[in-house]
Amino acid sequence: DGGITQSPKYLFRKEGQNVTLSCEQNLNHDAMYWYRQDPGQGLRLIYYSQIVNDFQKGDIAEGYSVSREKKESFPLTVTSAQKNPTAFYLCASTPSGFYGYTFGSGTRLTVV
Amino acid sequence: AQKITQTQPGMFVQEKEAVTLDCTYDTSDQSYGLFWYKQPSSGEMIFLIYQGSYDEQNATEGRYSLNFQKARKSANLVISASQLGDSAMYFCAMREGGGNTGKLIFGQGTTLQVKP
């Protein structure tokens, strides 16, 4: 079945470490997105990519980095510059045009 | 700037009754799309319903309908015959701009609890 796979489901990070969250889709979607969700809050856009080898900053890109080397993959790195990384991270994708989004099941990141 | 406002942080509804979740939006674009998503405690985002800005009729999907009032910039979600499984957080979202921009802007969400 087609869908988006995010891994790991839970991730623990020590202070000062970089960690990478994986997002893979087999839907042949052009665009991919990373959102951050804090408890009881809405989703905020971190980065998005509409085509391979190209990506744009969202509203809260500071302390994060991404790459889009393959259409299927859009990994997110949470760097040590992100001062408050504990949150729920959701990856999404959409085909080009005016369509809805498919979301992954999310990664819950905790700083220990 | 585009913005989505959900003014109800939490709502209660009795099982089998209907409930309306409010959503207002602000945009200067003529072409836009409005979405509702359900997020259960597991965290996954489940797509419920979509309304395009040029759609003349209100969208419906099973027990979900969208009360679209374009002049008032509101896109309220109506859930009929509530079920215990409807207990979740609900998000209204707007697709910013037309074409391939693709960014979804989310409201703060409304937590719905269905009482037996």
Q: How many inter-chain contacts (A to B, CB under 8 Å) are there? A: 61
Chain B hits for A92, Cβ within 8 Å = 45, 104
A70-96 pLDDT per residue, tens: 999 999 999 988 889 999 999 999 887
- How confident is the model at residue B92, as a pLDDT? 97
Contact B95 A98 (CB under 8 A): yes
- How confident is the model at residue B96, as a pLDDT? 75
End-to-end CA distance of chain B: 41
Contact B106 A101 (CB under 8 A): no
Which residues sit opposite A64 in a β-bridge? A78
Contact A92 B104 (CB under 8 A): yes
Phi-psi label, residue A108: left if phi above 0, alpha if psi -120 to 50, beta otherwise? beta
Cβ contacts of A102 within 8 Å, gap of 6 or more? A3, A4, A25, A27, A29, A92, A93, A94, B47
Q: Block means of pLDDT (10 residues each) for chain B, length 116 residues?
A: 91 97 93 93 93 91 96 97 97 78 87 97
Contact A98 B104 (CB under 8 A): no
Chain A hits for B37, Cβ within 8 Å = 103
